[in-house]
Structure 1
């Protein structure tokens, strides 16, 4: 989706996902995490920018800003809270320009790829 104001309902995606946000402006990107309709949930959203990272657990209402440059890519990962691998992902995100809401953004969300465990690394040092 593209526009001045994007609303992402994670509950409709129904699984952990990654969203790519591209700002078409320079300034503050406003991200609002809203709690959904259910009373219990097992997810969190983490926003990654060049200058700042922030994590919001579902069930909370949080407003935060992130300084972005034109065409910066912001990554938002939504995942289950530690120790959970099922349940409601009842979290909603509002994303827009903080100043006057005139800057467009583009948001694409999709399923996170399956994560393979990192193979164990063996370090062998040269004899001295």
Structure 2
């Protein structure tokens, strides 16, 4: 099974409120999950990381419950170069809450163990659907 994941965040520095979104589709471009919500974050990198962490948690949880098969080919797309790079290297990111980083790295290890995962940076224009959802979450 091939899964395509797009994630994004929209950060408002004055209020520290972010809208995060995750969109997961299968190889036929059929929607599996579209989720967005408002969260408090220290900075835009943390917001982007929270969005990706939500996607990773969703996949890992569904595979643990046998609702999704293991050994999927997962393509993860985001428009934050910093988050894509730390994901590829499974490294920590400065300025991000330590508990979020632990959760992210642990979830990432499980995801990579059970699947073939590819992280790719894409421009905002190519991440438009996730961007729209993240912005819409700010107005909720």
Which TM-score tier does this pair reach, normalised by the shorter chain?
Answer: 0.3 to 0.5
TM-score, normalisation: structure 2: 0.32
TM-score, normalisation: structure 1: 0.34
Whose strand proportion is higher, 1 or 2? 1
Whose helix proportion is higher, 1 or 2? 2
Work out which of the two has the higher radius of gyration on C-alpha atoms and give 1 or 2: 1
Larger RCO (CA under 8 A, 6+ residues apart): 1
